[in-house]
Amino acid sequence: MRILYVAAGIPVPGVLGGSTHAYEVARGLALRGHQVDLVAASREGWAGLAPFARPVSTRLAGFALHHVDVPKALSLLAAGPLLRLARMLRPDVIIERYYNFAGAGIIAARLLQIPALLEVNALMVDPPAVRKRCLDDALGGPMRRWAEWQCHAAAAIVTPLHTTVPPAIPRTKIVELPWGADVERFAAVAEARREGVRTRGCEDAGTRGREDAGTRGCEAASGWRGG
């Protein structure tokens, strides 16, 4: 399957949490045999008019990376370039990482009549005490309506917790799925740490001459599972 994954305004590669998540999702999908095109930024901030001409494309970790350097808060300005890219790539599905001012991927999927998957990693509508929510309420809720429109336009919504999605959206559209982390790497790190605990425990016990205590410490460490 050819997948166009849109992470508007997120630097990839980068050091932000979103950078790691977008990279790992794209890499993970590619490892599963899919043909993945990731649209992201090369850095945070504005890069002039160049992104509106064409993205800068390269390869990274088994997937195609297309840099469109438009500030995150102005992501919708890249709707035109993204639509042109989608028409050229002809993906089977578009995945878009939700952000208040994003949505170009959902628009492209709608215009091209292909399925869209909306990735939601945090509350789509801010709590009432948040200043941005207060402003939106004062204006009649345009951001809330925009968020809900994206949910309705998407074929499905994937999120770690269904409560991130507005209550007006049918729960049947939501797939609850914790995703994005490289679990194999985490498992390897955890195993290395456990091995280190076992080694240090035995060495320390030997140094102190407490063979019995050292044996118990190694046995306990061998059964430790980090929780």
Domain that holds residue 42: 2-176
**pLDDT at residue 74, as a whole number:** 86
Question: Are 32 and 101 part of one and the same domain?
Answer: yes
Question: Are 88 and 156 part of one and the same domain?
Answer: yes
Domain annotation covers residue 77: yes
* CATH code of the domain covering residue 76: 3.40.50.2000
**pLDDT at residue 168, as a whole number:** 93
**pLDDT at residue 223, as a whole number:** 41
List own/partner pairs for 50-58 with CB under 8 A and 24 or more apart. 51/78, 51/81, 52/77, 52/78, 52/80, 52/81, 53/81, 54/81, 55/81, 55/85
Number of domains into which the chain is organized: 2
Predicted structure pTM score = 0.77
Give mean pLDDT in consecutive 10-residue pieces for the chain, a chain of 227 residues: 95 91 92 96 71 81 93 87 95 96 95 97 89 90 94 95 94 86 66 68 50 39 38
